[in-house]
Amino acid sequence: MLTFLYIILFFIISSYLVRLLAPYLIAFVIKRFQNKMKNKFENMNTGFKEKTHDKPKENKKEKVGEYVDFEELD
């Protein structure tokens, strides 16, 4: 009978502690998730900026032929 009371007391105390600590735990988890997403977004933007600011490669155009301007006949 005494162990049954200890088990009930344990559940009552643990539920009370969870109610007290839950807002802090949720805030911690949300801030951590927010920082991860912010870092991913910044990494994505820096990668994009590095790619766009690279020097363009010089493409040597091969001369295929002469340009012929055809005129329409009526």
pLDDT (0 to 100) of residue 6: 96
DSSP 9-59: HHHHHHHHHHHHHHHHHHHHHHHHHHHHHHHHHHHHHHHHHHHHTSPPPPP
What per-residue confidence (pLDDT) applies to 16? 96
User: What local confidence, expressed as pLDDT, does residue 68 receive?
Assistant: 75
In whole angstroms, give the CA distance from residue 1 to residue 8.
11
Side-chain-side CA neighbours of 39 within 13 Å: the count stands at 6
pLDDT tens-digit map of 29-70: 999 999 999 999 888 877 666 555 556 566 666 777 777 777
pLDDT (0 to 100) of residue 46: 75
pLDDT at res. 71: 80
